[in-house]
Chains A and B, each alone.
Chain A
Amino acid sequence: MVSKTLKKLAVTSVLATASLIGSGMGMAADTIKVGVLHSLSGTMAISETTLKDTVLMMIDQQNKKGGVLGKKLEPVVVDPASNWPLFAEKTRELLSKEKVDVIFGCWTSVSRKSVLPVLEELNGLLFYPVQYEGEESSRNVFYTGAAPNQQAIPAVDYLINEVGVKRWVLAGTDYVYPRTTNKILEAYLKAKGVKPDDIMINYTPFGHSDWQSIVSDIKKFGSTGKKTAVVSTINGDANVPFYKELGNQGISSEDIPVVAFSVGEEELAGIDTKPLVGHLAAWNYFMSVDTPENEKFIDAWHKFIKDDKRVTNDPMEATMIGFNLWVKAVEKAKTTNVDKVIDTMIGLETPNLTGGTAKVLKNHHITKPVLIGEIQDDGQFEVVWKTDKEVPGDAWSDYLEGSKDLIADWTKPIYCGNYNVKTKKCAGQKY
């Protein structure tokens, strides 16, 4: 009796499993798989979790509109855990095991660099939504965040022209993005006639919390009577003690303004913003921008995340733009085939959230407006300056020795990520 029941149970469960698998397979044939490669644990989880949710929201919206090419989109979320080599492994898993058609992911440059070889080997497609140091253009990547000429250079121009800054502190965390950006900025400032004595460069370790001496040095550097500003590529949460120390040592944003490239709404959401009021940030999007598109996006985000207090930020906009561009490309190419999508992408346009248009360029970067915002006491930014029109992203900086002759052009006949216009040769070196 007992054994009979057991047998029955076993049979039903096998049947159930089989049908489950069957339905799963049936699903797979009718869906387009979208890989989401953002850290959900570890140090970068703070920033990257939001982007995972953004991709999920975009997929949800697209599916409600009927999906793409008549198929539903199916997200495949993996967690590379802020561990750079793991990013490469997870990419391999997404491409060869899950067979995703596109990946949205990465935040830090080092994670992107670790993913590149896998992408190029397995011919994957990545949309990278974060501002970065440039000096790269891969055929398999679309860079929807800002290149240095879409963030750092305009910010410095603003300080020179509108604020009248004469002395410069370039402060950053010690890794590739700040070092490269500061190299570009230093060259740019010198080209503008700033004397080496008027530039102070400082690097600190990740998560630095003891800012006493550095802030005191900045104070001394800025007390010569010439207008001084700090250009900060200080990463993530090291910013909070930095601004606190500035406040405690009595340096206000009116004396020495700090313009930051890594401080956005998300970073300000968790902290007491009093010591930061009046300091600046340069981005391509601010939550406070007053456009109907932005209002719609914020409403959708609040509804999706079920929390009215959550903020939106620049990398979220870049993720959204990347997603919409990919959908357009797939619909235009009528296939998700990576090679076809890559070739269709170039020249496509989609509206951004600040009332303009993002256009995909031949170098796999996009056009973006540059906005300078001042931090307000509610953790939002007040736009104080804006470029007249969108700035095209430049993969290779015009101010660095060795890269000023390079261009990226992924259309025939050049079809190269690092083409030297002087020697007329493609360097071919990949990452």
Chain B
Amino acid sequence: MTTFLRRTGMQIPWLKLLARHHVIWCLVVSALLPLNSYAADDPAANNRLEPALKLLKTGSFKEKLHAIELLAASGDPLALNYLKPLLQARLYYRKDNGDIVIAEREGSQYQLTAPVDGTALGRVKKRSIKKITINNAMRRLLREKIAGLSLTNPDPKIREAAVNEMITSRANGLARTLKGLVDQEEDASVKALMQTGIALGVLDTGTDEEKIAAISQLSHSLNPAVRNRLEQLSADAGTSKIGKAARKALVTIEGRVAFYNHIETLFFGLSLGSVLVLAAIGLAITFGVMGVINMAHGELIMLGAYTTYLIQQMMPAYIGWSLLVAVPAAFLVSGAVGIVIERGIIRFLYGRPLETLLATFGVSLILQQIVRTVISPQNVPVLNPSWMSGSLQVNSVLSLTYNRLYIIVFSLAVFIALFLVLKKTRLGLGVRAVSQNRAMARAMGVRSGRVDAMTFGLGSGIAGVAGVALSQLTNVGPNLGQSYIIDSFMVVVFGGVGSLLGTLVAGLSLGVANKILEPSVGAVLAKILVLVFIILFIQKRPRGLFPQKGRAVEN
């Protein structure tokens, strides 16, 4: 067996005749066997790679794909020295002598190293080397080949990817290869995946009893490859015992998939809802509590997002921490701008809502144009820290993206903080007093002007904080605010003007409703339906979900 494999590993022309999957399998096994050591000191090693390396330098991607196959099939450990840098797009060749080199940009020049042993080959200008370009097909093949050579890699993540790759490509001899490895496997999730792979392999090769046992084992797996295989099986095997078993397993799987899909929809809805809550909660203070129609609310959100951008520009080495700094900074910036707007314009217009609306609309245009002129009319890049990227993989069908998870948590935290400020602090007491009965509050010695300014500042500051969160989800540009102002008013009005809790419930429920509708009617119609629903709802209950009660309101 060993000698056979050794020979197949070397005889390239014979291998080429085989199906691709077979090649992978042979490679995997040959990688497991201790034949690597001998290839390195074989003087013919480089000669074996030579024809493949020559193909790499051609312009055609087909030839290059072939070259990768050849390199991987050579069984030479040196092949990895070429394959890995190729995948990272660091492989070049010299225009003068055609040598393949690894090039690293250093200033205006490129530092060259030899792929084989990493010796430095000096620095050259960009003109004298040419990059070996790769495309998606090559990337996929490279990953597959490197994975095939990495089934015994010490990193469980790499092993898992390698097994997954084999399952998806339905490699020949899957069950046999994995059976040899499964007992030594220590990582539980890799082990489970290997067992799935073995069962899938059995479906191709086993007896009927073995197949049925494998199917019942597979009915616990949510891996899409399993589902596709079972679907194929239930179609092929017809009404036989196996076909029935496959269909039964499929029903179980579909049921679980549907369950997780509902959870996913709920998560999407809550995350959209929490964005709405964040955008609207500042408005719930300025519009809800103070009764000011502030059309510049969106621009205060935008200022928060731009603050995040500026903070990231100031601390480029600490992107991971930038958001933590940006939250208080954005609160202060937007809060300060809010206080200036209140003291400078709005306080002269209390009790005249139409004029307030027009004046703040003007302010919003001015703020947008300031950003356009001072920073740039283009969108600015706000980076996602690494802890905000990627997703939490619950299982094969359910994964929750981290940025959304954090924003749900963040919006709840902001809500609770704001709630406590209004209920527990002196400022909160003042705010509630003034909003309930201004004249009486003033008679009791509350400096209503100062309270107005602070309240508006608080609402604006929260808008700025929302901007920090939004900068992680959407484009940061001068028009950022406009896209959220309508939604914000919608949420506040639906929840009940003046009710913080109403804003929370309204935002979350609108988000969930939107996401439930979206898959069936599309994003455009879902938005319209939600808006129509709110209009009808307001006809029935003009004060929203959680109306404020009391004599002050009745007047």
Closest-CB distance, A306 to chain B (whole angstroms): 15
**Would you call A300 an interface residue if the criterion is a C-beta within 8 Å of the partner chain's C-beta atoms?**
no
**Would you call A49 an interface residue if the criterion is a C-beta within 8 Å of the partner chain's C-beta atoms?**
yes
Pairwise interchain contact B377-A213, C-beta atoms closer than 8 A: no
Pairwise interchain contact B384-A272, C-beta atoms closer than 8 A: yes
Pairwise interchain contact A205-B275, C-beta atoms closer than 8 A: no
Please give, as numbers and ranges, the residues of chain B lying within 8 Å of A400 by CB-CB distance. none
Cα-based distance from A43 to B424 in the complex (angstroms): 43
Pairwise interchain contact B522-A203, C-beta atoms closer than 8 A: yes
**Would you call A216 an interface residue if the criterion is a C-beta within 8 Å of the partner chain's C-beta atoms?**
yes
Please give, as numbers and ranges, the residues of chain B lying within 8 Å of A271 by CB-CB distance. 379, 381
Q: Mark A213-225, 1 if CB is under 8 A from B, else 0.
A: 1101100000111
For residues 152 through 172 of chain A, which have their beta carbon under 8 Å from a beta carbon of chain B?
A: 162-163
For residues 162 through 191 of chain B, which have their beta carbon under 8 Å from a beta carbon of chain A?
A: none
Q: Mark A366-408, 1 if CB is under 8 A from B, else 0.
A: 0000000010110000101000000000000000000000000
A209, closest chain B residue (CB): B474
Pairwise interchain contact A241-B473, C-beta atoms closer than 8 A: yes
Please give, as numbers and ranges, the residues of chain B lying within 8 Å of A41 by CB-CB distance. 372, 377
Number of A-B contacts (CB under 8 A): 116
For residues 41 through 65 of chain B, which have their beta carbon under 8 Å from a beta carbon of chain A?
A: 61
Chain B count of residues within 8 A CB distance of the other chain: 49
Please give, as numbers and ranges, the residues of chain B lying within 8 Å of A214 by CB-CB distance. 518, 523
Q: A212-B272, A272-B384 are in contact. Are A204 and B399 (CB under 8 A)?
A: no
**Would you call B221 an interface residue if the criterion is a C-beta within 8 Å of the partner chain's C-beta atoms?**
no
Please give, as numbers and ranges, the residues of chain A lying within 8 Å of B136 by CB-CB distance. 163, 253-254, 257, 278, 280, 374
Cα-based distance from A245 to B268 in the complex (angstroms): 12
Pairwise interchain contact A248-B401, C-beta atoms closer than 8 A: yes
Pairwise interchain contact A374-B524, C-beta atoms closer than 8 A: no
A226, closest chain B residue (CB): B228
B142, closest chain A residue (CB): A254
For residues 169 through 199 of chain A, which have their beta carbon under 8 Å from a beta carbon of chain B?
A: 174
**Would you call A208 an interface residue if the criterion is a C-beta within 8 Å of the partner chain's C-beta atoms?**
yes
From A49, A213, A223, A248, contact of B391 by CB (8 A): A248
Pairwise interchain contact B391-A250, C-beta atoms closer than 8 A: yes
Q: Mark B113-155, 1 if CB is under 8 A from A, else 0.
A: 0000000000000000000010111011001000000000000
Q: A209-B473, A210-B272, A237-B475 are in contact. Are A249 and B401 (CB under 8 A)?
A: yes
* Residue among A205, A223, A254, A374 with max Cβ neighbours from chain B (10 Å): A254
**Would you call A92 an interface residue if the criterion is a C-beta within 8 Å of the partner chain's C-beta atoms?**
no
**Would you call B205 an interface residue if the criterion is a C-beta within 8 Å of the partner chain's C-beta atoms?**
no
**Would you call A63 an interface residue if the criterion is a C-beta within 8 Å of the partner chain's C-beta atoms?**
no
Chain A count of residues within 8 A CB distance of the other chain: 47
Please give, as numbers and ranges, the residues of chain B lying within 8 Å of A45 by CB-CB distance. 372, 377
Pairwise interchain contact A213-B518, C-beta atoms closer than 8 A: yes
Cα-based distance from A272 to B380 in the complex (angstroms): 10
Pairwise interchain contact A205-B268, C-beta atoms closer than 8 A: no
Please give, as numbers and ranges, the residues of chain A lying within 8 Å of B140 by CB-CB distance. 254
B144, closest chain A residue (CB): A254
Q: Mark B384-423, 1 if CB is under 8 A from A, else 0.
A: 1000011101000001011110000000000000000000
Closest-CB distance, A157 to chain B (whole angstroms): 16
For residues 346 through 381 of chain B, which have their beta carbon under 8 Å from a beta carbon of chain A?
A: 372, 377-381
Pairwise interchain contact B483-A207, C-beta atoms closer than 8 A: yes
Please give, as numbers and ranges, the residues of chain B lying within 8 Å of A330 by CB-CB distance. none
Q: A209-B475, A216-B264 are in contact. Are A46 and B522 (CB under 8 A)?
A: no
* Residue among A212, A244, A272 with max Cβ neighbours from chain B (10 Å): A212
**Would you call A202 an interface residue if the criterion is a C-beta within 8 Å of the partner chain's C-beta atoms?**
yes
Please give, as numbers and ranges, the residues of chain A lying within 8 Å of B15 by CB-CB distance. none
Cα-based distance from A271 to B474 in the complex (angstroms): 11
Q: Mark B516-528, 1 if CB is under 8 A from A, else 0.
A: 0011001110010
* Residue among B137, B381, B475, B483 with max Cβ neighbours from chain A (10 Å): B475
Please give, as numbers and ranges, the residues of chain B lying within 8 Å of A49 by CB-CB distance. 377
* Residue among B136, B268, B378 with max Cβ neighbours from chain A (10 Å): B136
**Would you call A117 an interface residue if the criterion is a C-beta within 8 Å of the partner chain's C-beta atoms?**
no
Please list 18 pairs of residues, one from A and one from B, whose beta carbons are closer than 8 Å in the complex, sorted by A's number: A43-B479, A46-B379, A46-B477, A162-B137, A163-B137, A202-B522, A205-B523, A213-B515, A213-B519, A214-B518, A224-B224, A237-B379, A247-B389, A248-B401, A248-B402, A254-B140, A254-B143, A271-B379
A residues whose Cβ falls under 8 Å from a Cβ of B: 41, 43, 45-46, 49, 162-163, 174, 202-205, 207-210, 212-214, 216-217, 223-225, 237, 240-241, 244-245, 247-250, 253-254, 257, 269-272, 278, 280, 374, 376-377, 382, 384
Q: A-B pairs with the 5 shortest C-beta distances?
A: A209-B474, A223-B224, A248-B401, A225-B228, A212-B268
B residues whose Cβ falls under 8 Å from a Cβ of A: 61, 89, 133, 135-137, 139-140, 143, 224-225, 227-228, 264-265, 268, 271-272, 275, 372, 377-381, 383-384, 389-391, 393, 399, 401-404, 473-475, 477, 479, 483, 515, 518-519, 522-524, 527
Given A163-B136, A253-B139, 15 more contacts at CB 8 Å? A46-B477, A203-B522, A210-B275, A212-B268, A213-B265, A225-B224, A237-B475, A237-B477, A247-B389, A248-B390, A248-B391, A250-B390, A269-B378, A280-B136, A382-B133
